[in-house]
Each structure stands twice: as C-alpha cells, then as structure tokens.
A and B are shown apart, each in its own frame.
Chain A
Amino acid sequence: MSLMVFMAVIGFAVARLRNLFGVVMLTGIFSLTSAVLYVVLDAVDVAFTEAAVGAGIATVLMLGTLALTTSEEKTVSDNKPLLALLLVTITGAVLIYGTLDMPYYGDPTAPIHHHVAPRYLMDSAYETGLPNVVTSVLASYRGYDTLGEVFVIFTAAAGVLLIIGRPQRGRRRARRDAQWDIEHGIRKNVILRVVSKLLLPMILLFALYVQWHGDFGPGGGFQAGVIFASGFILYALIFDVDLARAVVAPRVSRFFLALGVLLYGGVGVVGALLGGNYLDYSVLARVPTDGQHLGILLVELGVGLTVAAAMITIFFTFASQER
C-alpha cells in the first residue's frame, strides 16, 4: 500500500518537474518501485522484466534522447486549459465508477479465476511438461498474443531505423572526433575499460542462462534479450559506438531482428503443415510433451533474438546521432 502511495508521489513529481534530467531519474525510480511491488505481489517474471526493461534500458534510451534534445521542458503558454481538465476529470470519474463493480483484489469467486486460469494452472505441467506456468502460458497457451508482441518490438525497431536512420558524416570531422575521444573521452579511463571487459562475458553468459532457464524459473526470451543487449550497450558506452558497431554491424542486427520474428512465425507454420493448428506445438514431435518442449524452446529463442537485436538497434541508432 505504501509502495503505491510512493509511486503516486513520484508520478506526480514526474508530471510537474521541468528539468528533464530529473524526470528521467525519477522515472527510473518509478520503474524500480513497481518492480518491488511486483515482487511483493509474488509475480517474479513480471518483476524481472520490469527491472530489466523499465529501470535499465528505458532510462538509458531516454538519456540518449535527452542528449539529442534540450534538457529543459518548454514552458507552455499561460492560458489554463480548463476544458481539457474538465474532460479528463469526467473520464477519470467514469472509469473509477466502472471499477467499483469489479470484484475485490484476490477474491476467490472472481470470474477470472474460474474459466481458463484453473485449467492452465492444473493442466500445464501435464500438457507441456514445464514447471514454470508463466512460460507455458506465454509461449504455448497464449502463443498467438506473444507473436503479436514480438511483431510490435520488431516494428518499433524498424520505425526507429526508418525515422532516424544512418547519419552522414564527413571524414575530417570523424577523425577529429576520434582524436578528441582518445585524449579526453571516457575511453581514457582505464578502470572502466578493464572492468567492463571483465564483466562482458559474464553478462552475455547470464543472458543465455536466463534464456534457457526460463522453463524452470523466472526468465524467458524477453528478459534474456534485454540482458544480452545491455552487455553491448555497456560496451558502446565505455568504448565508442563506432567500435561497438564494428562488433555488431547494422547488417547483422537487422538480420537477427527479422530472424527472430521469422523463427516464431515459422514454427507456427510448420505446426500447421504437420497437421495441427497454427502454433500448435504438439504435432512437432512424436510425443506431444516433447513437441511442446521443442516448440517453446524455439519460440523463446525467436523472442530473445528479436528483443536483443531491437534494443541494440535502437540504442546504436540513438547514440550515433549528432546534435
């Protein structure tokens, strides 16, 4: 309860603060608090994703945006928009009135607990053979929705590429910047370089662990993709974006971006060709449970590939821009 009050306070501060840098920091704390809230509510996978994406990547990306724009919010003109305030208040009141009819939080007679949820909870171990119900629901029972999510991430990265794209730079300027960076930039900092080089293999290994361990514990494709991308983002922050670009060429990241979606959709098509429905994994192997295992494995791999490539693409595109 106190956590929600805390979040409300932070939300209010985010709306009122004019200094955008402070807003970005507060948004980071907001995501962190909601991750703690999810932990308290015993939803570990969601907390995992919220911590990785909201508190980490989103803050870094927003800082990247701030680096390209100004750091103070433009003050709007002084006419107080009373009509807008009235409209928002009426809409909010109607929404709150609508929620009064909903069952109490945690009510065991609520309809949400009676139709599909018990079947998922009780049959998941038997039908899919996985201990982690979240993964089985995400990848198998609701696989179609997850396919849509992967498409959304793909579209976001494609949109960023279309709008911002690759910058054109002169060669003399590039060389001057390189000299400045070697002499003054963060690359000069020995401690950061050594520590990040030591940490990178561990980060990537941890990402792979989270990817494959998602069947048994919290984890899965989304979280693993974000952690994988954050390793490359760390490299790009300490060394230069161009050096990081030499490691992950634009061609490569675009290829993996599409490959993940293709893998996911392809598994569905193979399932349809083998006689089942689209995205029905039971027909992929002789034993249905093995088929489910294989299908979920491939699908999560597709998700992880696309998420990692999307995060890398978006960050590199933002960071390669100049003012």
Chain B
Amino acid sequence: MILLWLAGSVAAGLILRSEIDEVFDSALQEVTQRILPLAYSEILNSDPPAAGESPIQRLPSVLPHQEQITYIVRDGEGRVLLQSHDADPAAFPALMTPGFQDLHGLRLYTEAAVQGTLFVTTAEPISHRRQAVIEAVGMLLWPLALLLPLSQIGVWALVRFALRPVQAFEQEIEARGHGDLSPVNVIALPRELAPVAGSVNRLIARLQRALEAERGFTASSAHELRTPVAAALAQTQRLIAEVPEGAVRERARTVEAALRQLARLSEKLLQLAKAEGAGLLAETPQDLAQVLGFVLDEFRDDPDAATRLTITLPSSGVLLSRMDADAFAILARNLIENALKHGAADEPVSIVLNDDGLLRVSNGGAVVEPETMARLKRPFERGGSSATGSGLGLAIAEAIVAGAGTSLELLSPVPGRASGFEARVQLPGIPASR
C-alpha cells in the first residue's frame, strides 16, 4: 500500500511538473508579448542619455518585492536598452533567438519586433518551478509520514487482538504434557482455526488412547508380577507355620524376608513406571482428602505409624484437585513412608493438607545438609540414612509432581523449628471457586 502511495505520488509529481511547465511557459510568453509594445513606446519616448550616462534604462519597482520574472530589452546588436530592476544581463544570452530556451538555470522566452531590431527576453528561474513541484508532492507525501506509524500501530494492535485466541490456544497446547492430555478448549477460536483445534484434539485423543494402553499394560504387568510374589510369600508363611521350630523354619523365614524385599522393590518400580507414564492429571477435579484418608488407612495396622502420625485435613473435609487420584495416592504414600522411615523414631510425623491444596509431610530428626538435600530426589539415594528402604520414594514423588506440572519442595530444618525435614507439594488444578 505504501509503495502504491509512493508510485502515485511520483506520477502526480511528473504530471504536475508537465502542467506547471505548460502554464508557466504560457505566462512567460504572455508577459513577453505584453511587455514588447510597452518597452518599444518607453524607448521611443525617452530622452537620449547624457554624456557619461548609461544608455540602459532600469525601471524602478513600484513596491519592493522579489522578482520571479525578469526581462531585458536589447537592440539588434545586442545592446541592452531596457531591463527590469532585478534582471542580471550577464545571465541573459548576448544574442537573442526568438522562442523558449533554458540557460544558466533560467527559463527564457524571446520575442523580436521592429524587423529584428528590438528583442524582449523574459526569464524565470527553473528552480522556482521545481520548488512548486516539490512543495506539491511534499504536500502529498507528508500525510504518509503520519499514516505510516499510525497504520503500523493500528495493524499491530489489530493483529494482537485478532491473535489473542490463537495465543490462548497455543498456551492450552503448551500446557498439555504426559500428565495432562485433556482436550483443548476450542470455543473462543476464530472459525479459520477451529479445524486445526479439532485436529489437535483428535491427536491428543489418539495419544491418550496409546498412553492408556501403556497404562493398562503397566497395570496388567503389576498384576502378573504381584500374584506369583504373593503366592510364594503365602506358601512360605504357611511353611513357617507348619514346620516345627528349627533350621528349616529359620531358612523359610530367610526366604520370607527376601520375598518381602522383592515385593517392596517391585512395588516401587511399578510405582516409578506409573509416575513416569501418562494420566497424572484428571479431566475433572477429584476429592483428594478422601484419597488421603484411604492412604492413611493403609497404615492402620502399623503400630509405629499409629502412634506417630498426626493428620490435619482441610476444614471442609473435601479438597478438589485435578491431580489423578492414583498418582496422588502414590505421592502421599511415598512421602509418609519416607517420613516414618527416615525421621526420628521418637518424634511424630505430621501430615497437613490445607484448604489451598498444599500438602506438607514433616518429621523430626537432625537437619539434612544442603548438598545431601540436592541428591535426595535421585533414585536409590538414601541421604546417609541407616533406615532400610528402596531408595525410590522421593524419586517417585518427584516424577509424579513433575508429570502433574507442580514441584516437590524439600526443607530442612522444618520452617519455624530448629530441626526436622519437611516435604511440600502444592497440588495442581485447585478450582478457583475455593
């Protein structure tokens, strides 16, 4: 559009210049023809110059002004007989040829009279004409100088406004990850982009199906792995119950201990596989306070846990969050197990889930050094603890929170205390109405 405007301005300038030349030439010719009889009469009626006086008559101006058109009257031999007050004879040619002529930056027009014995030449600076064209084209161009930044700002604002739903769409897609595969909201999108959103949602649905199949495989693997371990453990326990006290029973107890260890480790590896898989965010919020209740119920037969666990649930008794219930159960179970195992045995383990969805699990014990804290989330890292454990608890918790788009914060000492350890997770997707 700008180029078009510029081309139009150039064309207008060229046309204007041609028209101005035509009009100004006509004016120059008209002036010359008007001056000619007047000059002739003036020369005839004037007295001959006195001795030592210049034969050139210079006509004074009536009022002071800048003379755009000057003239000179010469005789047949080129002597100047009459001139306008601003005329410079040197700029005029010595020999006049009737008609138009460009010389020394002047546009000249000459008329001859009295059988070639009197010549009148009028002159006008060519720069005057050029100036007129430049000013006219300039008048055409200056709105462009204003329009250009204005239109740029307008276009920028318009594009920004028009792209707002596209940006929101981009952020929606960006927010999807292996933890969140819910469909993208397409209601506010421009009609042109709606098919793209439809394709994205179909892709997400295909991905979801693939990941659900993977999850189903993990669940089936868990079933296939757990059942033989359960069978071996149960048979060993029956053996312990049925054989008399002695070497065989002791050996059976050793097998039982090994099977328990195998069960724990396979359990943790399955949890880690699940944590690194998909579906860590549910499409609709779920009550995680109820899920936490189920997790705590798992510790009811552990006499150590029964005496050490202190629990604070949300005041309403309900906490809605988009974190998947199973993922949250694994997270909470691992944080509680970690606190029970590695915290001071004679100090309570506090579990707090507040109304804003902040889960805090804290235990007593010596302050954990910062360099040890940095390593705790790595698999098989025990942070110098002598307690027996898989060393996978915090790695599983970290994988879950990362997949769910939140973070696991480890603090030591517990804020407000001189010792202890606290794990904090801000649960994702808490409904805004809370």
A and B: interacting chains: no
Give B residues with C-beta under 8 Å from A: none
